[in-house]
Amino acid sequence: MIFVNFKTYQQGTGGDAISLIKLLEEISHESQVKIIPVVQAADVKEAVMTSKLEVWAQHIDPVEFGAHTGYVLPEAVVEDGAMGVFLNHSEHKFESFDDLKKAHSRAKEVGLKTLIFAADLNELENIMKLNPSYVSYEPPELVGSKITSVARAKPEIIAKAVEITRKHELPLIVGAGIKSYEDVRKSLELGAVGVAVASDIVTAKDPKKEILDLVQGFI
Ligand code: G3P
């Protein structure tokens, strides 16, 4: 499976996000590789209305109905049709583990699947306590890398992450700099079940070419 994180890239926002989702849907259908677009909260509703893909939101906050100006309410993304949510991405971390725990339990309360990011093995061990749907190992220093990828630069850490997640029977996703079918294949060989990708697809001159290349890693 491939999680495509649209972040707040221009090409991943509003109308452009919808065009990209249509492309992802076409390639997911042809290749039979599960692709999950992970969009901004503001784009969830339209993404769900225009595609059959499972759509996820990039973040929710640990809040309930009430006076929380500007926060992302879990119930709101569910009402818009999101099936899951990213939590604790290195670009949007919670201030404390307690906040992450509360956001995660709110996600479960409203019926969202969850993927929690870990920047290193210590954080990964800690996250196991929350029993999310997926965990992701994503070293922040390699996120957006044009030169290398987590699969090339940190294969031994991926292998250790797999040992940890297997003990808890949780599926591991890896991300950061993933940009080729070799990166995908290596990640799967090491025991990950999928990858999280952003810049290689969302900011590509030819996103179709990049996605077609990545899906080859699963075939
Ligand atoms: O969530 C995945 C993302 O952070 C990876 O970004 O640009 O390194 O593929 P990128």
How many residues appear in the chain? Answer: 219
Q: Ligand 1 center to residue 210 CA distance, Å?
A: 14
pLDDT digits (tens, 9 = 90+) for 162-210: 999 999 999 999 999 999 999 999 999 999 999 999 999 999 999 999 9
Q: Ligand 1 center to residue 65 CA distance, Å?
A: 31
SS3 state of residue 115: strand
Q: Ligand 1 center to residue 212 CA distance, Å?
A: 17
Q: Which atom of ligand 1 is least distant from the CA of 177?
A: 8
Of 20, 11, 26, 33, the residue nearest 218 (C-alpha): 33
Give catalytic residues, as residue numbers: 89, 138
Both tokens assigned to 195: 């990858």
pTM over 0.85: yes
The DSSP call for residue 91 is T
- Domain 59-218 class? alpha beta
Measured CA to CA, the distance from residue 175 to residue 196 in angstroms comes to 5
Q: Which atom of ligand 1 is least distant from the CA of 179?
A: 9
Q: Ligand 1 center to residue 37 CA distance, Å?
A: 13
Q: What percent of the chain has pLDDT over 70?
A: 100
Pocket of ligand 1 (CB under 6 A): 5, 89, 138, 143-144, 175-178, 196-200
Measured CA to CA, the distance from residue 80 to residue 83 in angstroms comes to 9
Predicted confidence at residue 205, as pLDDT, reads 97
Q: What are phi and psi of 57, to 5 degrees?
A: -100, 155
Predicted confidence at residue 145, as pLDDT, reads 98
Of 61, 150, 47, the residue nearest 107 (C-alpha): 61
Q: What are phi and psi of 80, to 5 degrees?
A: -75, -10
Q: Which atom of ligand 1 is least distant from the CA of 178?
A: 9
Per the CB < 8 A criterion, the answer to whether 121 and 161 are in contact is yes
